[in-house]
Amino acid sequence: QILHACLDLVAMEDTSTAMAARDVICIMLLPARASSTPAWTKLPLDTIWRTVQSLVTSDIRTQRSLIGYSLWLRLMLLPEGTHITTLEAADYWKPVMHGLRRGDSERRKICLNIFKLTLVTDSVAVSDQVRAQYDRFCTVFETVVLARYINQVVECQADLDALAANKSLRVEWLYVLLASGLDKQMQDSNRKFIGNWVMHANLDPNDDSFLQFFRDDFLPWAIQGSLFVSTLRMLEGRRRCLHGDRMVECLRRQLANANEPVRLADVVIDTILLKRNSLFAYATVYLIEGLGDTLSVQQRERLSGISGLPEVARDYLFVKIHNQPGLGPTAKSSSRRELREKEAIEKCSKFDIESSNMEDMWDDLEYLEYPKDLLVAMVSVVLHPQVLLRATKDATLAAAMRQKVHALLRIAGTKIFMFAPLVVGVRRALITEPAAAAVLDIAELVISVAERPPQPTPDLMLEEAIIPLTPFAWEHYFGERPSYGFAAFVDLVNRLHSCPGAAGEILARILRRWRAQKVPPPTVSPWKNALQLQVLLLCLEQFTPDESTLVLDVLEALYHVLEIEPLPQYRYLLEWMTVRLLVRFQLEYTVLERLATRDHHSNPKHLASLMKIGTILACSGESNEDFGLQLATSFVPLAASSKVVIRHEAQWQVPILLEHARAHAWTSIIENAVITTLNEYIQALDRFIEPPLERQFGRFNPQKDHTLTNLVEGNWLLLDPVDTPLTTREEFVKLYSNVSRDITLPGPSMSLGDPVKRPVPAKLNGTPRSVEHAAIVPRTSGEVSAALQTKGTAYLARSLSDPTLLGSRPDHLIVVGSLVDNPYNLGGLSRVSEVFGASALCLQNQNVVSNKDFTSVSVSSHLHFPIVQLSASGIPAYLADRKMEGFTIVGIEQTNRSVILGSQGARLPEKIVLVVGGEREGIPAVVLMECDMLVEIPQQGITRSLNVQTAVAIVLYEYARQ
């Protein structure tokens, strides 16, 4: 009667009642104690099984399904519970598959245990080979779906390949595993690994289970916009979306292997049409590209109704779908918005300063929300020669024009196709009318671009990636590329000497900001970029100071920035600037003075830069033998410095300097026995015979490398992946060829130069970057030292306030650590359990307390409270006994029914048994069934879990606090 009552109660909506009824049934199904007859032998197991079948068919998210699965597992643990199972029964396996596929971690653990127990029953007859494959499946499932550590998941690739290739495993189980791995509850990195494996795997597309998996699990993951955006890359000068390319390749391979490709194509088309309102627009393009020429007229007709795509995607769809035989005309009349845009563009093309109103045109631009063609047309209006000429004489018009040019520049920050026409227009305006520099506030414009160079949006990059799939090119949609605009911008700065005062103002403002940064600066700062330093270098070339002290101020500022800057890319440009300033104003000997200063040893990177600068100056052609001798002499002690960075740099510079001395017959150097002996030693070193790539990338020849080409695409950009080239030499050549014959360009401050020669390494190796690239910044004397560490005395306060507590220990907290294997973790578990007053700690093996790894962490904690031996297999019975004594079983585990520690619903009872999961599996299903309450620790970061002893310490602290 109790059983039948409980079987009715487990289906109730009230959670506490249903769970209590389940606990009663589980107690009835426990094995017998000693020689007594077990209670379950007198129970109607078929009745319990029918109830289980009813419960597990409930919604997977409900408490009823969890109770059903836990009772099912309890039945499977009975010696004679196997009469309900058969491997061939689809109705038996279907709920197990559903639980593994869609359940939370607790349900999945239970279902996997049911699966394992079923395989070892006498009613399931399988060969050892087949059983080995199913064992492999269980192991991979535990690793990929339950443990979820990405490094372990990646190591499962060979096992996944084996499961997919071996016919011993029914294919439905493979798709259960893959579907679970692609579940939204999984980490993105794990889902990405499984999804990418699916795209490269040779799966059979002719199986119905494949089509179900493809539709319900794979495609919902594969069409996420973040996957397309995160895999955008520049490869061999072309923008590529790697995820889109992989998806196209996957679809084409599966269609080629399908007996009925139309079925797979229909699955893809159904997904596109079902999600048309929320589907990532560019996913549609790659899906249709993957379908290729397999589309029938009827399928094309279904796809022809897709709308709302961006321009390039829309053209692709037209070429692929609409522009095919068998489809009707698709032309439609222009909307009112499109007609108004055409009218506005026509106004711009017929602009005349006397009869046209620029404000009306600007109002049209804002009303139409800045359409592409109208934006480009507006540039020609704002920078019209008539407007420029009048603005130089009309302050009101000049202010309006300046405001609009800078507004267009802000728009170009997100609509980068605007950048090239705008900068080319500004450059042309300054060439034809230099007085326009004041009108446009050219210094502010240059600094705005340098500090915030326009970047392509993800949408624009995706459109760029799919343009090759259409019959058109970038220029058809967007005009000149942004790289052409950056070439125009750099060339504009290169000729700023025609605008008095502009170069000096830009130099002062950029240098001031770099000098004012905090010390030490972060390795990568969001506001810093190479373009600022490129502009600074060009302005420095046009720098004409009024007083000599100003030159020294600039030089000191450059030295300061060089002292603190950690990035090799930026240091290269700063060294270049310093060399140019020293040469122009004949200040070479100041380098020798700084090299002689010993306190520079506290900043080895700066001293290394000074040696490099000195060698460049000595080889510049402007130097003399005396300078070279003093420099070479200073290298001798530095080559034996205790600082690795200093020693290596001095040794590297000696052969370079000596080679130049021989070429110029500097006898005082080449006949110096100390220097030549040192040189022979250095040249025999392996690192000099086969120089690392960083050394080749960082070379600077003051005669050959002082060019625009080296500035915008030199090898120095390969020193770090922080900044990539914004333009190329070819864009400058194109820019100069487009200059009208009737326009005379102001002279450049830096010539274009020859193409850059890329170094070819003699030997590629995987050695890490030298320690000289690590920032070494000393602690300043003003820094406050850390507080002195002391041991806590909180335990004394409690004992002294209540002397009766001395030597006593409450018996309402037990910690079960029998699932933990690692002695280090067990030692930590002992320590935190004792500290927070546990009455006992249960371990798999008591002898671990003599293990040195255990004692290194536990110190003497295990001597102050009981260590109880409890095997892992005995945990369920032990917990059942503790429940009878009034204990509440609390497990630390992340499941759907877990409560967040510290939240309102996470009130811990006074008498608890705290169950700690193992390092790999956590808490197994048979133990989870016994837990009355599951808690998880709130997290803010990405890392999925804490170390065992850390997690237990947090929970015990919260328990003690409550």
**How far is 305 from 644, CA to CA, in rounded Å?**
68
Residue 803 has pLDDT above 50, yes or no: no
Residue 386 has pLDDT above 70, yes or no: yes
Q: What integer is the mean pLDDT of 808-831?
A: 89
Sheet containing strand 867-869, edge to edge, reads 867-869, 840-843, 813-816, 912-915, 888-892, 933-936, 899-900
**How far is 121 from 118, CA to CA, in rounded Å?**
5
Give the per-residue pLDDT at 230. Answer: 94
Q: What integer is the mean pLDDT of 335-362?
A: 82
Q: For residue 294, what are the CA distances in angstroms to 236, 258, 299?
A: 30, 11, 9
Give the per-residue pLDDT at 79. Answer: 75
Query: What is the residue extent of each domain of the chain?
Result: 203-327, 337-455, 486-653+691-758, 801-961
Bigger pLDDT: 352 vs 505: 505
Bigger pLDDT: 52 vs 355: 52
Cα torsion 368, 370, 371, 374 to 10°: value is: 100
User: What are the pLDDT digits (tens) for 668-719?
Assistant: 999 999 999 999 998 888 777 777 777 878 888 888 999 999 999 999 998 8
Question: Which residues are bridge partners to 815 per DSSP?
Answer: 841, 914
Computed over every residue of the chain, the mean pLDDT equals 86
- 81 pLDDT tier (thresholds 50, 70, 90): very low
SS3 category, 928: helix
- 55 pLDDT tier (thresholds 50, 70, 90): very high
SS3 category, 79: coil
Residue 74 has pLDDT above 50, yes or no: yes
Angle at 317 between CA 313 and CA 319, to 5 degrees: 115
Residue 770 has pLDDT above 60, yes or no: no
Contact 317, 281 (CB under 8 A): no
Q: For residue 549, what are the CA distances in angstroms to 546, 555, 585?
A: 9, 10, 11
**How far is 364 from 342, CA to CA, in rounded Å?**
11
What does the block give as tokens for 80? 């004679």
Residue 322 has pLDDT above 70, yes or no: no
Residue 765 has pLDDT above 80, yes or no: no
- 774 pLDDT tier (thresholds 50, 70, 90): very low
SS3 category, 518: coil
Give the per-residue pLDDT at 333. Answer: 62
Give the per-residue pLDDT at 940. Answer: 82
Tell the residue number behind the tokens 């791995």, with chain if given. Answer: 181
Give the per-residue pLDDT at 741. Answer: 75
Question: Which residues are bridge partners to 933 per DSSP?
Answer: 890
Residue 90 has pLDDT above 70, yes or no: no
Give the per-residue pLDDT at 599. Answer: 62
Residue 807 has pLDDT above 50, yes or no: no
**How far is 920 from 153, CA to CA, in rounded Å?**
12
- Which of these, 80, 91, 88, lies nearest to 46 by C-alpha position? 80
Give the per-residue pLDDT at 902. Answer: 87
User: What are the pLDDT digits (tens) for 199-248?
Assistant: 999 999 998 899 999 999 999 999 999 999 999 999 888 999 999 999 99
Residue 456 has pLDDT above 80, yes or no: yes
User: What are the pLDDT digits (tens) for 613-638?
Assistant: 999 999 987 789 999 999 999 999 99
**How far is 247 from 222, CA to CA, in rounded Å?**
8
Bigger pLDDT: 766 vs 439: 439
Q: For residue 663, what are the CA distances in angstroms to 337, 481, 650, 656?
A: 72, 45, 20, 11
Residue 810 has pLDDT above 90, yes or no: no
Give the per-residue pLDDT at 799. Answer: 42
Most confident of 32-36, 57-61, 768-772: 57-61
Q: Give the whole-number percent of the chain exceeding pLDDT 90.
A: 53
Give the per-residue pLDDT at 764. Answer: 36
- 124 pLDDT tier (thresholds 50, 70, 90): low
Mode of pairing for the β-strands spanning 912-915 and 813-816: parallel
User: What are the pLDDT digits (tens) for 462-521?
Assistant: 999 999 999 999 999 999 999 999 999 999 999 998 888 899 999 999 999 999 998 888
- 323 pLDDT tier (thresholds 50, 70, 90): low
User: What are the pLDDT digits (tens) for 507-564?
Assistant: 999 999 999 998 888 888 889 999 999 999 999 999 887 766 789 999 999 999 999 9
SS3 category, 232: strand
- 781 pLDDT tier (thresholds 50, 70, 90): very low
Indicate the range of 42-56, 93-107, 116-130 predicted with least confidence: 116-130
**801-961 — its CATH code?**
3.40.1280.10
**How far is 501 from 494, CA to CA, in rounded Å?**
14
Q: Which amino acid is at 664?
A: H
Give the per-residue pLDDT at 324. Answer: 59
**How far is 875 from 896, CA to CA, in rounded Å?**
23
End-to-end CA separation in angstroms for the chain: 40
Give the per-residue pLDDT at 86. Answer: 47
Give the per-residue pLDDT at 796. Answer: 40
